[in-house]
Amino acid sequence: MAYKTILVHLYDDQRVHRVLEAVLPVARIFDARVIGLAVLPPVVIIPGGDGVGMAVAFDDNRETHRGTMRTLKHAFEVATHQSNTRAEWREKDASVRTVPGIVIEQGVAADLIVASQVSVDWREANLKEAPERLALESGRPVLLIPNAGDTRLPPKRVTIAWNGRREAARAVFDALPLLKMAEAVNVLTINSEGLATSKEHPSADICDTLERHGVKCTATQAEASNAKMGSEILRLAAAYGSDLLVMGCYGHSRFREFILGGASRDVLNQMTMPLLMSH
């Protein structure tokens, strides 16, 4: 198995180089086609002053982002040309839809979707990029590149957050192409309230399976409360020297409300290493 089609969502010209520097070495190894995707944000409708009068379409943000998209395209074309990577550039207009919805639509036929971690201080980015939606709804593995910290890929040391659930299993097998490249992989099981005992988490089984795939694997266990699980996963992954974290994305979507599990939310907000998530 290899990643042969990689969709990269690029939205912010301040983060485009971090994303490309992380993903292009991986694409070269797999001889993958990299699709760069920029999406024009939706039209913003402002209601009339009395709340019931004629609405006004606000387009200034779209006009500004058209300039950003030109910058993104230039950065993408320069980086892929210099790295001799097979590449394709796409631009889509969200119109009255959402940016994440367009990315999901474009990404369902990709082996891997790559995007940036959003800034918790930048509300617009959270609304427009929504990596939790990509992970929960696309059915594809999503590789998120952090805004701070090391982005070196392919990884040398990997931590897998393992609890024996479907989402964790999906993430592990979706990450296999990267796990096979690593020098060491740690399967981390964290016991907390609500999880009975470590014996109920078959980390030994998943390690045996990974070793049959040629992955050098060890298993470790730790204790943490549910409220601190995400922070503890990140702490232990950093202590292991990981340059990639693999975990399931836990949560669900309900109409326009996207509800993440606490550990998933905390990891998405606090991550300082690349994160591969699957749902």
pLDDT, tens only, 87-129 = 999 999 999 899 999 999 999 999 999 999 987 665 454 456 6
Token output for 9: 């969502």
What pLDDT is recorded for position 220? Answer: 94
What pLDDT is recorded for position 258? Answer: 46
- Is the N-terminal amide bond of 154 cis, ω within 30° of 0? yes
68: left (phi over 0), alpha (psi -120 to 50) or beta: alpha
Low-confidence residues in the chain, pLDDT < 70: 46-59, 120-129, 193-202, 252-261
What is the DSSP code (8-state) at residue 49? T
What pLDDT is recorded for position 61? Answer: 78
Q: What pTM value is reported for the model? A: 0.89
Which residues are paired to 222 by β-bridges? Answer: 190
What pLDDT is recorded for position 203? Answer: 84
Is residue 260 helix, strand or coil?
strand
* Average predicted confidence (pLDDT) for the chain: 88
